[in-house]
């Protein structure tokens, strides 16, 4: 089984000093990917906000994934896109972003949605929320057994998301999550300390 890795999701406000915070977080421990998640701003503004963050990730070889928008991902040459259930089609994203792009899909707690995403050519599926989360409203709750079921059946990596902290993540790692997607647990306090805390658990020491 591959070792579980950290997948950071941005807060909605990435202006001001946020680039410095991102650099601190990425320098504190291993992070596999960073998802750029902003809402209610136009694509031009989003591209400007993304630019310094994308550079920080590139310097550290951290994948830069755009949330929701295939168009923005294409415009800025992101490493990939993460699609919610209403954000577009995996096949369309693949056609527009190319075969190298990392395409992830939110599958909530649904085995059927995950199977469909895999068949459509997604690179990973995301299950959750596993815990109550402050980052977004969630109608779906997933159980750790879902990760185990997926791992036993599929080669495709799975991401656990939703209210994950260093204190509660161990059962998800044990159940088979390939990645832990975290936002508030890192950005809600000292980001470097939080990444180090996750690294201690994910590193197995």
Structure tokens at 164: 């994950």
User: Each residue of 85-128: pLDDT tens digit?
Assistant: 998 999 999 999 999 999 999 999 999 999 999 999 999 999 99
Q: Are 7 and 182 in contact (CB under 8 A)?
A: yes
Residue of 163, 130, 154, 123 whose CA lies nearest to 144: 130
Structure tokens at 183: 């936002």
| pLDDT greater than 90 at residue 134 | no
**Mean pLDDT throughout 193-201?**
97
Residue of 59, 53, 32, 108 whose CA lies nearest to 72: 53
Structure tokens at 53: 């963050």
| pLDDT greater than 80 at residue 204 | no
Residue of 150, 141, 158 whose CA lies nearest to 7: 158
Task: Categorize the per-residue pLDDT at 133 as very low, low, confident or very high, splitting at 50, 70 and 90.
Answer: confident
Residue of 100, 125, 135 whose CA lies nearest to 179: 125
The one-character DSSP state at 2 is: P
Q: How far apart are the first and last CA of the chain?
A: 17
What is residue 156's predicted lDDT score, i.e. its pLDDT?
Answer: 97
Number of Cβ within a 10 Å radius of residue 3: 10
| pLDDT greater than 60 at residue 196 | yes
Domain boundaries, the chain: 5-202
Residue of 97, 100, 103 whose CA lies nearest to 81: 103
CATH number for the domain running over 5-202: 3.20.20.70
Full-model pTM: 0.96
**Which parts of 46-101 are beta strand (E)?**
63-67, 80-83
Angle between helical axes of 18-28 and 191-202 (0-180°, round to 10): 30
Task: Categorize the per-residue pLDDT at 205 as very low, low, confident or very high, splitting at 50, 70 and 90.
Answer: very low
User: Each residue of 40-70: pLDDT tens digit?
Assistant: 999 999 999 999 999 999 999 999 999 999 9
The pLDDT mean for the chain works out to 95
């Amino acid at each position: 089984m591959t070792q579980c890795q950290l997948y950071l999701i941005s807060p909605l406000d990435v202006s001001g000093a946020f680039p410095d915070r991102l650099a601190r977080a990425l320098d504190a421990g291993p992070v596999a990917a960073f998802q750029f998640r902003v809402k209610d701003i136009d694509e031009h503004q989003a591209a400007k906000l993304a630019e310094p963050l994308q550079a920080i990730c590139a310097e550290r070889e951290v994948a830069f994934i755009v949330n929701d928008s295939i168009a923005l991902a294409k415009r800025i040459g992101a490493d990939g896109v993460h699609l919610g259930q209403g954000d577009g089609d995996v096949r369309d994203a693949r056609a527009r972003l190319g075969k190298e792009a990392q395409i992830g899909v939110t599958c909530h707690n649904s085995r059927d949605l995950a199977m469909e995403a895999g068949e459509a050519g997604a690179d990973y599926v995301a299950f959750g929320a596993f815990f109550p989360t402050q980052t977004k409203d969630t109608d779906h709750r997933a159980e750790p057994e879902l990760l185990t079921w997926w791992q036993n059946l599929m080669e495709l990596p799975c991401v656990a998301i939703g209210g994950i902290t260093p204190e509660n993540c161990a059962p998800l790692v044990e159940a088979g999550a390939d990645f832990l997607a975290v936002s508030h647990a890192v950005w809600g306090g000292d980001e470097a300390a939080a990444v180090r805390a996750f690294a201690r658990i994910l590193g197995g020491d």
